[in-house]
Structure 1
Amino acid sequence: MAEGTDKPNPNDSLAVQSGSDHDERNSIALPSEVAGSGRLDRIVKTARAYAKQAASENTLKAYSKDWAHFARWCRMRGAEILPPSAEIVGLYLADLAAPSDGSPALTVSTIDRRLSGLTWNYAQRGMVLDRKDRHIATVLAGIKRKHARPPVQKEAILPEDILAMVATLSFDLRGLRDRVILLLGYAGGLRRSEIVSLDVGKDDTPDSKGWVELLEGGALLRLNAKTGWREVEIGRGSSEQTCPVHALEQWLHYAKIDFGPIFVRTSRDGKRTLDARLNDRHVARLIKKTVLAAGLRPELPEEERLALFSGHSLRAGLASSAEVDERYVQKHLGHASAEMTRRYQRRRDRFRVNLTKAAGL
């Protein structure tokens, strides 16, 4: 609470968002009867550390921005942000869908995410925002009915595309590293965050989300991913020039990496490795850079070509190109349902399973 008042400050961040001493006192705290005894201080620190792992860093950043935007919207209109008001939130959602100030309308998926962010932020403050309240639920249902559109999908990177992209890279350390990122990300159907969070071994670093075991037949990745732990088997390719496992072995050998993050930064000249782990934004930039260098989709203006491709293009490329049973692709990508896997498939035999004939027609 703000000093000298009983009214909570809606702009107070949470410990899981900023980590400041003031924020920590306002998040996970000791009961008053044992506060100051020192007996549970270490456990409180442990609990706070676990709380920080409740959601990904990117999700927490997004939720923090959602809260800041809502707080500003309320201030501009003289509305109170605390306690939670379903009526105010309903009006806020409506204004996001059809802004009264002439700003661009948000997509339905972004509005839904904003609502999740508000729900989460209120929960961290010990309050409940009821998404099922009619002031919220009916407004959101109306927004979805009026404005919902099929999701805009990123272009899939196909086998011939990835080969052309890899061919544009140099053979210094930076080029070797980026070659592994593209080939491993493609063959593993990996998210960009999964790629850069890999370590050489288990528990090498606190921020690791997985590690790699090199075997005779390929590489086994153990990932603590978006949907939980999963194993990804990446077999050796038919050629050393395009084999992701061979490229990984070459990178680890020449970069002299045997502990900690697999993908680290390099010097400006690309000839020395640095200690810092790569940020996942590097993967997105790498994809866009090599897409342009390889001359993919030359019929489109450069701006449109860049907008077509992202980190998800690697996952979509594998899902669209792998000529195997769909359930294997689903397991490889870590999807909970076959329907989600089909969203990633930009080309597939849609009528391979023909229920019309199977039903006798």
Structure 2
Amino acid sequence: MSTDSGKPASSENTPIALPTEVAGSGRLDRLVDSARDYARSAASDNTLKAYARDWAHFTRWCRLKGAEPLPPSPEMIGLYLADMAAPSGKAPALRVSTIERRLSGLAWNFAQRGLTLDRKDRHIASVLAGIKRRHARPPVQKAAIMAEDIRAMVACLPFDLRGLRDRAILLIGYAGGLRRSEIVSLDHGKDDTPDSGGWIEILDGGVLLTLNAKTGWREVEIGRGSSEQTCPVHALEQWLHFAKIDFGPIFVGTSRDGKKALERRLNDKHIARLIKRCVLGAGVRFDLPENERLALFSGHSLRAGLASSAEVDERYVQKQLGHASAEMTRRYQRRRDRFRVNLTKAAGL
């Protein structure tokens, strides 16, 4: 098991291995490889990349301070947290959420090397608590794409193959309250590809999505709309028909001339770029400068839009978004009747 201080944990130095007292064999070696594959699947690729960047940042900071990153030193990590919150040089101060994420990344990287980072140690816990108390701010939320916005956005798309695909992406993502990764990970059928994150089943009443999502397996029902122009199920059917997709990834790239669907699954960054492009094309929030409009909307704007626009019982929205609590769902509701229940009057005042 490698403990190289300058390299992030990877499949080559993962702690999944045979005990030293056990003699290797072909069968056992294959089991070790399988176990390593499962260990790599414990976190998403994006999470692993973020943890790798966290480790690279920490080891570079240690080198600049003349310290060693291994073994974990609560005292040094406390100083590292303080330097991120109030840097002495020209580097900008990091947000509390970023600092917490980097601390989680360090804990993960230490664990891959068979080491434990005690986050409750006073040198870490007290410094982090002080940073939160002094610097914490309400989370900056992306703007919700409301119903009138999504209608304008899909209306600005062309009706070529690429436009059919992007229209289906926006409408399915909006009506399903899906994350970017959930949209692009969909396959046509179960077990079509090894990297599938779920599959679809088109029924008379709509489309049923079975998703292996961030919070585990869940089903998402997307009913048919009142108009073909904005019906997510119709848009999906049109894309699948003209792209001739009946197996494998649903949302794939197209040829340069836009006339042929390719086999390559889209990257989730395509969703963010598509949303920003359509926000500009449809004139959403035209009262703001272009750079502010681009910064205001992202992939999460689709989920927030559904939560804010759907005039139904909150429990149904919570189920659609896959949230464990109603409180999390309320964080996505950008526009709601905050004073529908007036406790002041109910208390007799």
TM-score bracket for this pair, using the shorter chain length: over 0.9
Are the aligned partners of 1:184 and 1:245 in contact in 2 as well (CA < 8 Å)? yes
| Structure 1 residue matching 2:26: 3-state secondary structure | coil
Cα deviation code 1:244-296 (max 9, x no counterpart)? 00110111111000000000000112111111000000000000001111111
1:9 and 2:4 correspond? yes
1:223 and 2:211 correspond? yes
- Report the counterpart of residue 321 of structure 1 in structure 2: 309
Are the aligned partners of 2:156 and 2:278 in contact in 1 as well (CA < 8 Å)? yes
In the alignment, the residues of structure 2 paired with residue 172 and residue 251 of structure 1 have an alpha-carbon distance, to the nearest angstrom, of 10
1:356 CA drift (Å): 4.5
1:97 and 2:92 correspond? no
- Report the counterpart of residue 192 of structure 2 in structure 1: 204
In the alignment, the residues of structure 1 paired with residue 123 and residue 340 of structure 2 have an alpha-carbon distance, to the nearest angstrom, of 45
In the alignment, the residues of structure 1 paired with residue 304 and residue 311 of structure 2 have an alpha-carbon distance, to the nearest angstrom, of 13
In the alignment, the residues of structure 1 paired with residue 195 and residue 133 of structure 2 have an alpha-carbon distance, to the nearest angstrom, of 41
Percent identity over the alignment? 79
- Report the counterpart of residue 68 of structure 1 in structure 2: 56
| Structure 2 residue matching 1:219: 3-state secondary structure | strand
1:42 CA drift (Å): 1.3
Q: 2:224 aligns with which of 236, 239, 264?
A: 236
Q: TM-score, normalised by structure 1?
A: 0.94
* Range with bigger deviation, 282-291 or 33-42: 33-42
Are the aligned partners of 1:14 and 1:27 in contact in 2 as well (CA < 8 Å)? no
What CA RMSD, in Å, does the superposition of the two structures yield over aligned residues?
A: 1.3
Q: 2:296 aligns with which of 303, 308, 311?
A: 308
1:327 CA drift (Å): 1.1
* Range with bigger deviation, 345-354 or 269-278: 345-354
| 1:29-178 mapped onto 2 (5 Å cutoff) | 29-178=17-166
In the alignment, the residues of structure 2 paired with residue 111 and residue 13 of structure 1 have an alpha-carbon distance, to the nearest angstrom, of 18
Cα deviation code 1:271-326 (max 9, x no counterpart)? 11111000000000000001111111112111111000000000000000000011
In the alignment, the residues of structure 2 paired with residue 248 and residue 35 of structure 1 have an alpha-carbon distance, to the nearest angstrom, of 54
Q: 2:325 aligns with which of 333, 337, 343?
A: 337
Are the aligned partners of 1:222 and 1:229 in contact in 2 as well (CA < 8 Å)? yes
* Range with bigger deviation, 27-36 or 306-315: 27-36
| Structure 2 residue matching 1:221: 3-state secondary structure | strand
Q: Partner letter of residue 190 of structure 1? A: L
Q: Where in structure 1 are there 5+ consecutive unaligned residues?
A: 3-7
Q: Where in structure 2 are there 5+ consecutive unaligned residues?
A: none
Q: Partner letter of residue 222 of structure 2? A: I
Are the aligned partners of 2:5 and 2:68 in contact in 1 as well (CA < 8 Å)? no
Are the aligned partners of 2:253 and 2:265 in contact in 1 as well (CA < 8 Å)? yes
In the alignment, the residues of structure 2 paired with residue 112 and residue 338 of structure 1 have an alpha-carbon distance, to the nearest angstrom, of 24
1:39 CA drift (Å): 3.2
Q: How many residues end up aligned between the 2 structures? A: 349
| Structure 2 residue matching 1:105: 3-state secondary structure | coil
In the alignment, the residues of structure 1 paired with residue 211 and residue 347 of structure 2 have an alpha-carbon distance, to the nearest angstrom, of 41
- Report the counterpart of residue 260 of structure 2 in structure 1: 272
- Report the counterpart of residue 187 of structure 1 in structure 2: 175
In the alignment, the residues of structure 1 paired with residue 49 and residue 120 of structure 2 have an alpha-carbon distance, to the nearest angstrom, of 25
| Structure 2 residue matching 1:289: 3-state secondary structure | helix
- Report the counterpart of residue 295 of structure 1 in structure 2: 283
1:38 CA drift (Å): 2.5
| Structure 2 residue matching 1:40: 3-state secondary structure | helix
1:28 CA drift (Å): 1.2
Q: Partner letter of residue 350 of structure 1? A: R
Q: TM-score, normalised by structure 2?
A: 0.97
Q: 1:283 aligns with which of 271, 274, 295?
A: 271
1:357 CA drift (Å): 4.9
1:112 CA drift (Å): 0.4
Are the aligned partners of 1:218 and 1:236 in contact in 2 as well (CA < 8 Å)? yes
Q: 1:257 aligns with which of 242, 245, 253?
A: 245
